Chain A
């Protein structure tokens, strides 16, 4: 267990450093923060100054949030396995004294940490409105941030799976983005059908609803937390198996 944690920690730090050494992460961060800042002002105006509503928009009530959540993780994870595999660096990693699971988990943690930083701009907006004299509902703000990180974690896990399945980063990113779009528009498909069993089946895997119904309004519910943890774990498990399969090729 200690060895696993040591390996995980080493991979995490290595990947995080890798992310911030390249220009992509900084570019994404600047775009995300500027865009979210601009949209926050728009939300404030459209909600007639309702601070909580505007912050909720930034953490998951708006399409802009879901667009960022669907697009950014694949851009981060696309190179994590496929690029390394293509360049032959993965061989070194897999022969190092770390398990496949700690490799996948370390990369996942690094990508999710970056996304947590991206969503921190929402916390900055909350601080700004507090400085302007209106204290927001901090419980809902932290709930929204935790939910946003969990959503990103799930999308980073799917991104890693796609990255593990192919040797071409662009294909990995494209595959993950398509998968994320399907996940995001799934509830819309539900409204196109009258069949209750389809609606109920979709509701069971509806990521938007699981985020909006609890975290976004300031509720930490173990069932909803479990939803994200279980599905993220499933994709990470699949990514680990896929990485393991590379040894057999």
Chain B
């Protein structure tokens, strides 16, 4: 029933407006229906998701999914991305891109408990007022090149930096005069793990205090060179610990709230008084982390301190193992024999420290490690062999001049010496009120690592997870996870090989369009005919 000209002309202005209003209303209703439908499709019940990517790069680790499911209140993620310094411009941007995608996945998975704010300084040239306001609220002094991600819940915050936090980057070789040119690359993309650890730390309200004993020639937390411990302090702080330096020899007391005492490779033994302060602390439900340093014997030496808890230290041997040659045989006689790489088979099973490492396929690297032996533990204590040297290792003894030949001599014990040990026991003395926790048993925990450099700046990047897991076990925190890292597969075309590009150029730019044009001409010709 069409309207004829007369009917249309007879329509009043009011009727025309009424029809227009009805059309607009219908349009609005349709748009609202579309919005509602998309919202309904986003509900978890109706949602299905398939990750087609080859390496499952778009699927969250079940551990992280569990962490997100356990969030009890909203966590805000502020991502500040800035251009990276040379030579990391391209790979830095790739890390940022992957992190953006990961944050999107996490936000989708969290069901609204994770709010992501991307302050993309790299894209927009200048930070927005919102980015600046958030930066003020989060008390961020400066954003380093590449940027960082801040997780915050109320006043608590956790920082994850791009380099070292979201990913490990290799600068490659930008100077072809020295060696073949190699572009910068992502060695390991570990944003998922770092963000999971950050979320776990946020949900833990406590900030355990680590008292780092200084003054005995151990790793210096102020030294930024290879044998300093600045990185160790930073990693602990990033993981939610508070690190306090204490010089016991100068009469400084351990803080009342100290949870863990750390003795990092002391070159000199503690004085008797200082050693007593440490043992009194540990006896009363305190926690001790020690890496074996130079001089361990004597009254205040580390050997006597940890022997009290059932852990013995071999006084003069270094654990060694032959270096694999190109043919696969183990070669002895080189100082490199003191380098140990401990994998799955050398790690204790069913253990809070090593299980995450085993699950993620990580290794622990130790150098010049002393062997540890089971001593006489106090009543009720359990002593656990945490790390064992690889198969075919031996304890290399020095000669009378103190030199090692790095060859297995007839009297040198072969096998798999223990290089890290932990001891757990009920507190040997009453726990002071300041340290008493209602939700925890009064326990003494001790963890000893035989290698002096395990936490040094040059070795920490390899042993970061192991070290942080040790401290989290000591502080009785369940906030460390080790997830399988998503290392980008090397899907790169070698651009220096001219033929690889010329073939693509020929087909993609010339042959394919030409074939299309010819086909079009053929169709036109046939139609014309």
Contact = CB atoms under 8 A, between A and B. Distances in A.
Interface of A: 20-21, 23, 25-27, 29-30, 33-34, 36-38, 40-41, 44-45, 47-53, 121, 124-125, 128-129, 131-140, 142-143, 191, 194, 204, 213, 217-223, 226-227, 230-231, 233-234, 237-238, 247-249
Given A37-B508, A230-B38, A44 B495 contact: yes
Contact of B38 (A25, A143, A204, A249): A204
B509 interface: yes
Greatest chain A CB density within 10 A among B34, B55, B124 is at B34
Contact of A134 (B94, B124, B491): B491
B523 A220 contact: no
B53 A29 contact: no
Interface of B: 1-3, 27, 30-31, 33-35, 37-38, 41-42, 46-55, 57-58, 90, 94, 101, 104, 124, 128-130, 183, 489, 491-495, 500-501, 503-505, 507-509, 512-513, 516-517, 519-520, 523-524, 527
5 contacts: A33-B513, A213-B104, A219-B58, A221-B50, A222-B48
Contacts of A137: 53-55, 489, 491
Main secondary structure of the interface of A (DSSP, over half): helix
A194 B129 contact: yes
B519 A142 contact: no
A25 B500 CA distance: 31
B46 A222 contact: yes
A21 B507 CA distance: 25
Nearest to B52: A139
A41 B505 contact: yes
A132 B506 CA distance: 13
Given A49-B494, A53-B94, A134-B493, A37 B50 contact: no
A42 B493 CA distance: 13
B55 to A, nearest CB: 8
B495 A217 contact: no
A222 B513 contact: no
B38 A223 contact: yes
A217 B501 contact: no
Contact of B503 (A21, A23, A128, A194): A128
Contact of A125 (B27, B58, B489, B504): B504
Contact of A49 (B2, B495, B527): B495
- Top 9 A-B pairs ranked by shortest CB distance? A26-B520, A37-B508, A139-B52, A226-B41, A218-B53, A34-B513, A49-B493, A37-B509, A49-B492
B133 to A, nearest CB: 9
Given A30-B516, A131-B503, A218 B58 contact: yes
B503 A140 contact: no
B49 A222 contact: yes
Given A34-B509, A121-B512, A134 B504 contact: no
Contacts of A48: 90, 183, 492, 495
A135 B491 CA distance: 7
Nearest to A233: B34
A125 to B, nearest CB: 6
B520 A51 contact: no
Contact of A226 (B1, B38, B183): B38
A124 B516 CA distance: 13
Main secondary structure of the interface of B (DSSP, over half): helix
Contact of A41 (B38, B104, B489, B509): B509
Given A125-B504, A140-B53, A33 B2 contact: no
A217 B57 contact: yes
Nearest to B495: A49
Nearest to B40: A226
A30 B41 contact: no
A136 B491 contact: yes
Contacts of B494: 49
Nearest to A249: B2
B427 to A, nearest CB: 51
Nearest to A52: B491
User: Most B CB atoms within 10 A — which of A41, A47, A121, A219?
Assistant: A219
Contacts of B505: 37, 41
A20 B509 contact: no
Given A44-B493, A143-B52, 16 more contacts: A20-B523, A30-B520, A33-B516, A45-B495, A49-B493, A49-B494, A125-B508, A128-B504, A132-B493, A133-B493, A139-B52, A204-B35, A218-B54, A219-B51, A219-B52, A234-B31
Nearest to B519: A26
Nearest to B185: A48
B20 to A, nearest CB: 13
B405 to A, nearest CB: 47
B209 to A, nearest CB: 38
A26 B41 contact: no
A49 B38 CA distance: 38
Contacts of B183: 48
Contacts of B51: 139, 218-219
Given A26-B520, A134-B492, A234-B34, A142 B52 contact: yes
B503 A132 contact: yes
Contact of B47 (A38, A51, A223, A238): A223
A137 B52 CA distance: 9
A141 to B, nearest CB: 9
Contacts of A49: 492-495
Nearest to B26: A241
Contacts of A20: 523
B58 A23 contact: no
A41 B492 CA distance: 13
Contacts of B34: 230-231, 233-234
A238 to B, nearest CB: 7
Nearest to A215: B52
